Amino acid sequence: MPTPVDTRWIDRDMSLLAFNARVLHWAQKPDVPLLERLRYLCIVSSNLDEFFEVRAALYTSLAKPKADLSAIDAQAQEALSLVAHSLVATQYTLYNDVLLPAFAKEGIRVVSHSERTLAQQRWVKSFFEREVRPLLLPVGLDPAHPFPQVANKSLNFIVRLSGHDAFGRENEIAIVKVPRSLPRFIRLPEKLSGKRTLFVSISSVIRSHLKDLFPGRTVGDFSQFRVTRHSDLSVDEEDVKNLRTALRQGLDHRNYGQAVRLEVSAGCAESLSDMLLRQFELPTSALYRVHGPVNLVRLNQLIDLVDQPKWLFPSYEPSFPQQLAPNTPIFEQLQAGDVLIHQPYESFDGVLAFLREAVNDPDVLAIKQTIYRTGSDSALMELLRQAVQRGKEVTVVVELKARFDEEANINWAEKLEYIGAQVVYGVVGLKTHAKMLLVSRREGRSICRYAHLSTGNYNPKTARLYTDMSYLTRDPKITQDIEAVFGLLANQSRIPRLNKLILAPFALQRSLIELVDKTAKAAAAGVTSRIILKMNTLTDEKLMEALVRAGQAGVAVDLIVRGACMLPAQRVGFTDNIRVRSIIGRFLEHSRVFYFQMGTQETLYLSSADWMSRNMLRRVELAWPVENAVLRQRVVDECLNTYLHDTVDAWTMHPDGHYTQVSPTRSRLAAKTKATLGAQGKLMAMYSAKA
């Protein structure tokens, strides 16, 4: 039986697509630098790829006949398909009618075969013969040559041929697979470009030389195509002896999962698109006819190839964390009080400096750390390797199932294990998403612990692009709690009793509901009460129900939710006191902040967890309090109030779930100077001024 749809909430997948429409708005803004507009277009395409790879197969099987769907499921699937198609159509209209002409105005063009001069055609043919043709092996379909395996998101061509093959047969369909190793865009030499910057796409190069791949045959209808497949790894952890080995084997099959979407050229003949739909067992609604390259994500290459800083955002260099004195040992500074680092306005170098000091300090005995997404080339992981080589006890909890980072994490786990680090993989059936680093240091006759907690990943590259809060402390109760959590992850003996941290999947959801209900109780008693929450996603029904109760009790609830939010805002008689806004800016909003006010009493937690059922019940997550009044007010000012007053990059939700951009309310001075900034712009300016 299908799960009944709760009509109180907004559809999660519709909310995800609405988020991508807000991101696409940045590609549509004429005041955004040209290459950055292209980058936002690519980001939306990448997000949609992941949406189809993960959500489409979970939502309903696209291959399932409508007769097998409930009326509600069928209606929801149709509505979702219409919105997705509309979003993709908007992307290509923007690409063709706005961005390409804007690039052409600046002397940058992607030149099609029909637009190339004879000299350019000769160069492209030479490039094709030298660099491309040796890597192509067209497959003509017949009983001995079935349809080849087509990898997830790979570029391919389907070709209709007339005439007979070498054996006198009329096999009329051929498939050409384009290797991923080939660049998607090639820059023409300056002598062929004049004063312009000209490129050719690999699809155009192959398209214009298809006849050369089939000597003696006539090329008729053809089209590029790309199939997106379900790519969420599924491993029965209870039934495998070695999770790392099982996941590595699963990675080999990820590229060939169930097909969920088919993209073809807009002019693809129906006979060819119908054949592909049958081959991949997809309904017509899964077909996307696109006016341009079937993979807009690869346009990212143009950003690097053009390499023009004037068409990028002005360079922003984060300041070294302002609570840290560069020439004073960090351990000594933490003895005076906790340190808060607001990334990317302050540099991740502060975290690296903390770990580097621990690696080089002879009094440090042990280092424990969780790894979720650290990237394939990480200075932090190199520091852990140095710590092992210096004889320190290093324990690393590596989450092997971090989606699309599985291979990098497996490789790091093997490298660390090889040199003697203790590597564990967390708890069977749960993802370890908590971000924590614990250093044990001998000081006199005792061992003191120092810790780092974060709302984001230990990834130096994304730390320049994501907004996150890092927290350094030697609070004995917090560090004792972290030690207990590491013990739980390593030996799974018992649920630890914690002093200050709140741990999922055991207590986080329940504790947050208790905090919300406590605030509601205060409001019902006439105490001025407020809740402000900042997160990436809000979809957990029990937590949403608690927020509804709080709003109805008189609590003023402000939600700053970047992505999907299923809780409707200001719906009469239901969520009148709940406001929802989303901030989309230069950086990806990633910090999670939970603030509760009852009269003069304030409680604030930072966390690695979004308010989703998976984070509350199927992951190891942490929330920790910020008890220092100065630091707590800093978080409120920078992460909450600044965002609630944003009138540039903010979107507000309406009761039906759709969003509109907040209208800027400019002061007279701002109107004259055009100096109105969004929240991120204000924080960049503030930190630059302080630096």
Q: What is the mean pLDDT of each run of 10 residues along the chain (691 residues)?
A: 68 94 96 96 94 70 47 72 95 97 95 93 96 92 80 94 69 91 94 92 95 90 94 51 50 73 96 95 94 93 91 94 92 96 96 95 95 72 90 86 60 76 78 92 95 92 94 97 92 86 96 98 97 98 98 98 97 97 96 97 97 94 97 98 96 96 59 67 93 75
Cα dihedral 199/201/204/210 (nearest 10):
120
What's the pLDDT at 401? 59
496 and 537 fall within a common domain: no
Residue 1 included in any domain = no
Beta strand ranges found along 130-286 (DSSP E): 139-140, 156-162, 173-177, 185-187, 197-201, 218-229, 259-265
Last residue of a domain, one of 461, 476, 500: 500
Which residue in 209, 230, 433, 452 is the catalytic one? 433
Between CA 332 and CA 77 the distance in angstroms is 58
Residue where one domain finishes, among candidates 311, 341, 365: 311
How high is the pLDDT of residue 69?
Answer: 46
Assign 423 to helix, strand or coil: strand
In a domain, 563, yes or no: yes
Peptide bond into 344 cis (omega under 30): yes
Query: Is-contact 678 587, C-beta < 8 A?
Result: no
Task: Identify the domain boundary among 500, 520, 551.
Answer: 500
Q: Annotated binding residue at 403?
A: yes
Prior bond of 143 cis (ω within 30°): no
CA 210 and chain centroid, separation: 37
What are the tokens at 518?
């406590």
Q: How far apart are CA 480 and CA 357, in angstroms?
A: 21
For residues 22 and 137, membership in a common domain is answered with yes
Identify whether 318 is part of a domain: no
The CA R_g of the chain, rounded to the nearest whole Å, is: 27
- Asked if residue 55 belongs to a known ligand binding site, the reply is no
Q: Could you tell me if 253 and 335 lie in one domain?
A: no
The residue assigned the tokens 């068409």 is 311
Confirm whether 187 is domain-assigned: yes
User: Tokens representing 532?
Assistant: 């402000």
Supply the range of the domain harboring residue 406: 330-500
233 and 122 share one domain: yes
**Together in a domain, 118 and 247:** yes
In a domain, 521, yes or no: yes
pTM, two decimals, is 0.91
Whether 510 is in a domain gets the answer yes
Residue 487 belongs to some domain of the structure: yes
Closest CA to 250 of 452, 399, 400: 400
Q: How far is CA 580 from CA 337, 643, 650, in A?
A: 35, 12, 10
Beta-bridged to residue 662, according to DSSP, are none
Q: Which residues have C-beta within 8 Å of that of residue 296, sequence separation ≥ 6?
A: 41, 42, 45, 91, 92, 95
Output the pLDDT for position 409. Answer: 66
Q: Does 466 appear as a known binding residue?
A: yes
Same-domain pairing of 481 and 543? no
d(C-alpha 542, C-alpha 562), whole Å:
20
Q: Are residues 512 and 556 in the same domain?
A: yes
Q: Are residues 286 and 147 in the same domain?
A: yes
Give the CATH number, domain containing residue 356: 3.30.870.10
Number of domains in the chain: 3
Residues 455 and 552 in one domain: no
Q: Which residues pair with 534 in a beta bridge?
A: 560, 593
Strand bridging mode 173-177 / 139-140: antiparallel
CA distance 570 to 10: 13
Among residues 366, 593, 615, the alpha carbon closest in space to that of 509 is found at 615
Burial of 690 (0-12, 13-18, 19+ CB in 10 A): exposed
Decide the pairing of beta strands 529-535 and 556-561: parallel
* Residue 322 within a domain: no
In CATH, what number is assigned to the domain containing residue 298?
Answer: 3.30.1840.10
- Residue carrying structure tokens 């690409």: 95
Known binding residue 536? Answer is no
Q: How far is residue 127's CA from residue 611's CA, in Å, rounded to a whole number?
A: 52
101 and 217 assigned to the same domain: yes
How many CB atoms are located within 10 Å of the residue 210 CB?
A: 17
Same domain, 18 and 40: yes
Q: How high is the pLDDT of residue 673?
A: 40
| Whether residues 496 and 508 fall in one domain | no
Residue with tokens 């119908």: 274
Residue 433 catalytic? yes
| CA separation for the pair 553, 577 (Å, rounded) | 9
